[in-house]
């Protein structure tokens, strides 16, 4: 079944007069947020074992509590075409790393960052961009590596994913979209190429993002982002 996306209110500090569809500048701002930090209230040792993820549930609610600053989303021009209805992703599986997560739709937090669930066992799909299965652009799924509420999350293992690994995303129409990993990068948050992560055109890709690198107790942020890019296999 299709899911029509409704544009969020424009976050404070962004240009006024934005259209009903999410503009390009906002996506740039959101990207900066995702890059800014995946910062839990307290740091958790990333190599600690995680508990099994919750079972996938039907059509999650779009009302998601945003966690600490995450990648900022670029704002697109008012002339950008409205998104067509797409089936929303509800489950993400990376078999090689035993990642099996519920996916919930997320939008833009008040500070202009990508609003993520504080539950590290839930991945957030940026619902104002492409969805898995769309003919063009990047479907972005992100999650915290850990959080005070849920402890170590499955995305702590994202850094160990290898090129060629299989990724599957199931949507709320029960269609399974299959991908193969083509790159895995650890990128410093400062100056990260976030606009390319949220691209709305070009070949379709799946982009998975979380935090990585050293924990900075002073800023309460991780230094880097771990970014996994995958392309459809057509199978």
Which comes out higher in pLDDT, residue 149 or 130? 130
Query: Is the CB of residue 179 less than 8 Å from the CB of residue 232?
Result: yes
What ranges make up the beta strands (E) of the chain?
Answer: 72-75, 89-94, 99-106, 122-126, 138-142, 146-147, 151-152, 166-171, 176-188, 205-216, 221-232
In this structure, what token pair is assigned to residue 124? 């957030």
* CA distances to 98, 121, 152 from 53, in Å: 10, 6, 11
What integer pLDDT is reported at residue 114 of this predicted model?
A: 83
Average pLDDT of the residues of the chain: 74
In angstroms, rounded to a whole number, what is the distance separating the alpha carbons of residues 43 and 204?
A: 34
The string of pLDDT tens digits covering residues 158-206 is 999 999 999 999 999 999 999 999 999 988 777 777 788 889 999 999 9
In this structure, what token pair is assigned to residue 53? 């993820």
The string of pLDDT tens digits covering residues 69-118 is 456 555 554 444 545 568 999 999 999 999 999 999 999 888 777 888 89
What's the alpha-carbon Rg for the chain, to the nearest Å? Answer: 16
In this structure, what token pair is assigned to residue 8? 């969020």
In angstroms, rounded to a whole number, what is the distance separating the alpha carbons of residues 85 and 135?
A: 13
DSSP summary character for residue 3 = B
Residue 36 CB contacts under 8 Å (≥ 6 apart), including other chains = 69, 70, 71, 72, 113, 189, 221
In angstroms, rounded to a whole number, what is the distance separating the alpha carbons of residues 57 and 71?
A: 26
Which CATH number does the domain 24-77+87-232 belong to among 1.10.150.120, 1.10.1040.10, 3.40.50.150, 2.40.260.10? 2.40.260.10
Quote the percentage of the chain above a pLDDT of 90: 43
* CA distances to 22, 41, 78, 118, 128 from 84, in Å: 13, 37, 16, 29, 10
What integer pLDDT is reported at residue 3 of this predicted model?
A: 52
Measured in whole angstroms, the distance separating CA 33 from the mean position of its chain's CA atoms is: 11
The string of pLDDT tens digits covering residues 46-72 is 444 444 444 444 444 333 333 334 565
What integer pLDDT is reported at residue 74 of this predicted model?
A: 58
The string of pLDDT tens digits covering residues 112-122 is 778 888 999 99
Residue ranges of domains in the chain:
24-77+87-232
Predicted TM-score (pTM) above 0.75: no
């Amino acid at each position: 079944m299709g899911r029509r996306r409704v544009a969020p209110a424009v976050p404070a500090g962004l240009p006024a007069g934005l259209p009903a569809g999410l503009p390009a500048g906002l996506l740039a701002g959101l990207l900066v947020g995702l890059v800014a930090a995946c910062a839990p209230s307290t740091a958790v040792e990333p190599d600690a074992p995680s508990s099994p993820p919750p079972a996938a549930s039907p059509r999650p609610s779009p009302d998601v509590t945003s966690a600490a600053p995450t990648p900022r989303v670029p704002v697109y021009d008012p002339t950008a075409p409205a998104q067509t209805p797409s089936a929303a992703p509800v489950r993400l599986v990376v078999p090689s790393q035993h990642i099996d997560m519920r996916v919930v739709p997320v939008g833009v937090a008040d500070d202009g960052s990508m609003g993520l669930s504080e539950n590290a066992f839930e991945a957030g799909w940026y619902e104002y961009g492409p969805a898995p299965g769309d003919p063009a652009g990047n479907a972005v799924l992100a999650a915290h590596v850990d959080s005070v509420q849920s402890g170590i999350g499955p995305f702590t293992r994202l850094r160990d994913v290898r090129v060629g690994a299989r990724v599957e995303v199931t949507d709320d129409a029960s269609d399974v979209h299959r991908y193969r990993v083509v790159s895995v990068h650890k990128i410093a948050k400062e100056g990260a190429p976030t606009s390319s992560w949220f691209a709305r055109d070009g070949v379709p890709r799946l982009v998975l993002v979380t935090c990585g690198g050293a924990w900075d107790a002073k800023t309460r942020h991780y230094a880097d982002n771990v970014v996994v890019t995958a392309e459809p296999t057509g199978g």
